[in-house]
Amino acid sequence: MSRVAVVGWASTAALEPDGRNEAELLGPVVDQALGMAGLSGAEVDVVCSAGSEFLNGVVGTVMGAFDALPGWPPRTHSHLEADGAFALYEAWIRLMAGEGGVALACAFGRPSAADPAGVLALQQDPYLVGPLGTGPRHLAALQARAMIDTGRCTERDLAEIAAARRGLDVAALLAMPHVASPLRESDCSAVCAGAAAVVLATEDRVPISCERPAWIVGIDQRMESARIGQRDLTVSTSTRLAADRLGLPGSSIDVLEVHAPFSHQELLVIDALGAGRVGSLNPSGGVLPADPLMASGLVRIGAAADALLRGGAHRAVGHATNGACLQHNLLCLLEGA
Amino acid sequence: MTPERCAVVGIGQTHHASAGRDVTLGGLVREAAERALLDAELGWHEIDALVLGKGPDFMEGVMSPELLLAEALGAVGKPVLRAYTSGNAGGVAASTGVALIAAGQFSRVLVVAFEKQSEASGPGSTLQRLPFEARWQGGTGSLFGAVCREYIHRSGAPPEVGDLAALKDRRNALLNPYAQVRRPDITLEEIAASRPLWDPIRLLHSSPSSDGACAVVLADEPSAARSARPVWVQGSAVRTEPYLSAEHDNVDPRAGAECAASVYRQAGITDPRHELDVAELFVPYSWFEPMVLENVGLADRDGGGWRSVVAGATAIDGALPVNPSGGLLGANPIGAAGLIRFAEAALQVRGDAGDHQVDGVRRALGHAAGGYSNCFAMWVVGAARP
Amino acid sequence: MAFAYRRGVGGAESRFLSGLRAGVIRGTRAADGRVLVPPLDHDPATGAPLGDWVTVADLGVVRSWTWVTEPGRGQPLDRPFAFALVRLDGADTALLHVVDVPDEGSMATGMRVRADWRLERVGSITDIRAFVPAGSGDAATIPPAHHDDAGALEVHSAHEVAYRYEPGVVASRFFESLRRRRILGGRCEPCGHTYVPPRPRCPVCATGPMTEVPVPDRGQVSTYTVVHVPSPEGPVDLPYVAAWIRLDGVDVAFPHLLGEVAPEAAAVGQHVEAVWVPDDELAPSWESIRYFRPSDRPDPGTTRQP
């Protein structure tokens, strides 16, 4: 099988609505990613896009994004209702399956819903959980409390993570009220609109201009039960499984980007990876300050690749998640030449 | 870089119905999946990865249903991919499954596609109106009617073409135990007189709304060796083009033509009309049959499609049978419909299509379409290992 | 937008919910011996069907909880409460539900709670109104199994989600122009094609922005359909003609209404002109044009075969 590398990426997060639609958010990001890669839209063989109709409130929301994607002449294109990290996984698979030499994985999210959390609640079991109106923050809070009860962390530990990611003062954060105890507003990501794009190329299609392609050593993703009462919420089993498959436990990682929409989840993912050493954790700032839903996981992979593309790092891991309490996790292991 | 060969070793589907009242989403999916595993003689633990194909999440009101379905899919501890895109979701799901095998990552992949669309009321279906759009603009039926009108204008097709194609599919559905709509006493006159919806489309030209699921088990070559009758995937492709484009032709979209050209090329087919023995095509309204025939190169582009229909060439005993299963007019659970076409094509190759089996099938085409005539997925399956 | 779903129930969910209707909580025993509440049809590890049903107690231990200070729509209580994972006596997994206590200080991991059942039960997770603190006198009892009628159960979901839609920067300018009885087109200079509405980037060559050009409000019907099916907010009079209009000089068609023409008289290629609404009805919307009607004379030089 041919090696595949990340050769370019870009992202944007719009914390305030600014009137731009999906294509207007995604278009410049695609241009930037291709520009960084030194490739044109015409050279893209495979496009894997991702988004969420429920969040955007429009059936067929991908149709609106077509203007931003290399679309003519026709080529392989598939669309997922999920985070863009899974679109990248599919793009990687399609390149290795021989469907082309260059792929574009992209994601866009424009939560038009006044209450994105209310929409995310629709991920829950409609038979047994839906009637209770439980939202993602409540479920995450149950997980956070379980970690505190077992002594894995304290509320101060969470505030320190939030402070580090958001550039704020720990004491000030601890003085804020809970939004879903033991979580505070600062422990929860700031959901916003945004877009991301990552360009992949097989070995024979990496442009000369790309001096340091970020080679994908492997991607593994695993799912757990949606029934949180059935799981041990203090361990991210699926992340551990994926980490084992990639040979990560005990290894050295230069850059780790974790998709943790809640502060305590950063600890869970790091524990599950079991890395011997992590050089730099979430140099991008992670997801707490800005969480472009459906693009955040893809941004983590792009940010992890960034360190290799610019030089200065040799081994990076990007993590992405979907579902409440880290139900479904993906790890992408990247290395320089 | 040689892609791994991929074979279909298990096929299953539910008895598609207007409403599956006594089953949850998980129950619906499980039924199809279990049938496919039984057919493949494999246990749940032998499946390495899952692909779930489904239409708009609005239809069931559950966002990312693969999360909810972890146990029903046997997916706990396994990788899962969701396939959507649009109405071709079921076909895209198969294509993703084939890629997972071809990439050499997994040995056995379970692909499941479903829709349980009976439970929604409110704007739970395709194309709702956005506040800045006109009030009469909603509804895909209107768009499809206009596309059929354009085909008639270009090709000179006589009005009975839609009736004839519908009659054929509905008679074929009687031979398919999984079809939802089975009208033993259906006549051409009844179809021609049925209620007009979006001219030229009439009620009996149209597919029903269905709840249903379909599953296939895909395997790499070593795993396929354990199967008595593997059906080989000889070509697989997905193509999309922008629909609001000066280049887009609703009647004969280039994406559809190129998707077909790609699977024929992969399968080593140079004369599809003679080298394919049967085709399962995505025909949500009977007027689409002649259009699709021309678009995928199974009929000449100047009206050869409707002339084939009138001549009976696409009948179950015709020169190139189309939709011996009854097609979408028999059942249309939106997210599953594409995979059902692919699965029916494989059933034909295996000789397992029962009463709707076409004699001597060595190679079959499965076709799925979606969006506004702009998203396509196809595969060619055959008895011969590529 | 309001979404409503009437969900059929079968299998383990059905048995569990009918149990709640009868006032008992049931689980299934997994392959490893654990009692799963809520129950599953199939073992999560082996996939084997599970048929060993166990009735568990309706009291147990809080394994985790969170406080809801401001109850929202769709939640079972209208005063502050806790969501909790409750491991019932006899079960090995925890059930997600609510605990009704006066304040956050009354909650603690490890506290014992019991189900407070509704008198009228329908086969819903809310047949248990809430869990409440179990008094020291409450002993764990496993009620006898009931043979109840698992009659057809339904779970109803109703969601209301407020969406704020935006057509986008370029499209917004287009709709604004309609309000002024002007139709804005966008020309892609590299391709030479003109689009109505204009697009932020050309779908063919992906360049943008397009050059804004005014386009005439007359053109031709590229295709049409006669609609006999009422759409929820559509025009009252059926049948009506929905036509795809290609304005003179424009390379794509858009859908609109055909008026002042009998459905049988509609035709591909027909020349049409816009009929605008009066001033007081103008809006940034396609509805600023009431419909298109046949026009008598085509402009010389712009007629094109569709």
Q: B79 vs A94: CB contact, 8 Å cut-off? A: no
Chain C residues touching A127 at Cβ < 8 A = 7, 9, 13, 17, 125, 155
H-type alpha helices, A38-83: 53-56, 61-65
pLDDT of B56: 84
Chain C residues touching A181 at Cβ < 8 A = 66-67, 104
pLDDT along chain A (337 residues), means of 10: 93 85 89 97 96 76 80 94 95 97 94 71 88 94 98 97 94 96 96 95 96 98 95 97 98 98 98 96 96 96 97 96 96 95
Candidates A52, A62, A223; nearest CB to B63: A52
pLDDT of B244: 85
Task: Please indicate if any CB of chain C lies within 8 Å of the CB of B185.
Answer: no
Res. B282: pLDDT tops 90: yes
B120 within 8 A of B368, measured Cβ to Cβ: no
pLDDT of C306: 46
pLDDT of B127: 44
**Separation CA A326–CA A323 (nearest Å):** 6
**Separation CA B13–CA B29 (nearest Å):** 9
pLDDT of A113: 60
Q: Say how many C-beta atoms besides its own lie within 10 A of residue C184's C-beta.
A: 22
**Separation CA B347–CA B383 (nearest Å):** 11
Measured at the alpha carbon of residue B56, what is the angle toward residues B61 and B47, in degrees to the nearest 5? Answer: 95
H-type alpha helices, chain B: 25-40, 65-68, 89-102, 140-155, 160-173, 188-192, 221-224, 254-266, 272-275, 288-295, 304-311, 327-330, 334-350
The shortest C-alpha distance from A254 to chain C (Å) reads: 35
Q: A126 vs B247: CB contact, 8 Å cut-off? A: no
Q: B242 vs C204: CB contact, 8 Å cut-off? A: yes
Chain C residues touching A57 at Cβ < 8 A = 1, 161, 163, 165
Q: How does pLDDT run along chain C (306 residues), one tens digit per residue?
A: 677 888 888 889 999 999 999 999 999 999 999 999 999 998 888 888 898 999 999 999 999 999 999 998 889 999 999 999 999 999 999 999 999 999 999 999 999 999 999 999 999 999 999 999 998 666 655 555 555 555 568 888 877 766 767 778 888 899 999 999 999 999 999 999 999 999 888 999 888 899 999 999 999 999 999 999 887 666 668 899 999 999 999 999 999 999 999 999 999 999 999 999 999 999 998 999 999 999 975 554 444 444
The shortest C-alpha distance from A21 to chain B (Å) reads: 13
Best residue of A4, A59, A106 to probe chain B, by most B CBs closer than 10 Å:
A59
Candidates A53, A54, A99; nearest CB to B99: A99
- A210 DSSP 8-state letter: -
Q: A78 vs B71: CB contact, 8 Å cut-off? A: no
Candidates C165, C251, C287; nearest CB to B130: C165
3-state SS, residue A168: coil
Res. B125: pLDDT tops 50: no
One-letter identity of residue A153: C
Candidates B92, B125, B254; nearest CB to A78: B92
> pLDDT by residue (tens digit) across B51-86?
999 988 878 888 889 999 999 999 999 999 999 878
Q: C83 vs A21: CB contact, 8 Å cut-off? A: no
Place of tokens 């998640």: A321
pLDDT of C170: 87
The shortest C-alpha distance from A332 to chain C (Å) reads: 25
**Going by DSSP bridges, is the β-strand pair A277-281/C2-8 parallel, antiparallel, or unpaired?**
unpaired
**Separation CA C37–CA C94 (nearest Å):** 6
Task: At B222, list the tokens.
Answer: 């070593």
The dihedrals phi and psi of B66, each to the nearest 5 degrees, come to: -60, -25
pLDDT of A83: 94
pLDDT of B126: 44
Q: B149 vs C13: CB contact, 8 Å cut-off? A: no
The alpha-carbon radius of gyration of chain C (Å, integer) is: 32
**Separation CA A158–CA A76 (nearest Å):** 43
Candidates C1, C126, C168; nearest CB to A21: C168
Cis peptide before C263 (omega within 30 of 0): no
Q: What is the DSSP string of C173-190?
A: HHHHHHHTT-EEEEE-TT
> pLDDT by residue (tens digit) across B336-347?
999 999 999 999
pLDDT of C304: 45
Q: Which residues neighbour A334 within 8 Å (Cβ) at sequence distance 6 or greater? A: A6, A214, A215, A216, A217, A301, A304, A305, A308, A315, A316, A317, A318
Residue of C nearest to B19 (CA): C8
**Separation CA C263–CA B233 (nearest Å):** 48
Task: At B229, list the tokens.
Answer: 């009758």
List for chain C the helix, strand, coil content (%; round to 5): 10, 35, 50
pLDDT of B309: 98
